Structure 1
């Protein structure tokens, strides 16, 4: 895909609740390209997480549409498969499976894609190495630090080499050192893989590091 063609287009996207009384998102329109890092900013409750949920097929819009690589998400019949192939999620909480090692957590998306065990382990091991977590591969989540768990969550999000990363306050629970590590990892993925990274954040460091930022207030895009 040419850099001039948007990877993601969002057109008049709205999500209303209670028969329209609550407008979590209201007529948002923007486009973003592959390789771009976009920070979504605004106060709590402004619609950032709702926007990511709609782009990630975790919710359905009241009206409007989202297109990824020219395909309207309204035409996607198997959202789980689409997410597996195209979208990686990083949340404020790591959501690691407590009974699985970091390596097993990171390789889990590859199991869903049907990869053989040897290839899964190799790719997961390589990804953990990129996160400087090779020595923690066999540890359970409870036995590593919060920063290490979040870095493993980033590894899991990137393991399928998605074209879009949706990160919802990914550094919200981290100290400044791990905040910088996680931010650098997401930026590096965008640059090296040509992925689009959308980061919902209150963190001014992330907003400054992004290629641009989109500000929301009361569900609307600010000019």
Structure 2
């Protein structure tokens, strides 16, 4: 690695912007969790609505004997669907609770679903659940972005941070903690001295260390670079 000429190591955003980006990532994770919780509650309500509606329809349309054998009542399809939907309701409710939903929230979702009687209300509940699921899918796709691009984003520093680097090979890389400031120092030891880069975030410093070591290994795989 040759740092003979004054230049910025990597051009891009400032450290303040990077810290803001990390906070935004945490917000995205929180949004995803909240969206998953709402989706689970919506599915609980929908499953309860299906269970309640199919049960009431089955009672209205069923007759005591429909299978042609006297004394043996038929098992109405509505009852079967109601039982299956009740099982799904229970699973969705447990999922919602595992995501942090209070029992009162789950109970409200089940009761509101069971109270649905009209097709319009059923369509509305179905649309709400579908919207919640699409939201979860969108947030997941954001969270599953290329991790390399995220690391490259975090490694960028402002073009204002310029210095004259020695052209000697880097012989060692260490990390230090600046006293009374809480900053993390990245030290690059060369034959002509030590280059220190100051970071406000320890995680960024560790990523820089890992990246530099990987670059050095790619250039000279036979050489070891102790921490």
Same fold (TM over 0.5): no
Query: TM-score if structure 1 supplies the norm length?
Result: 0.19
TM-score in terms of structure 2 length: 0.19
Find the structure with the greater CA-based Rg.
2
Higher fraction of helix: 2
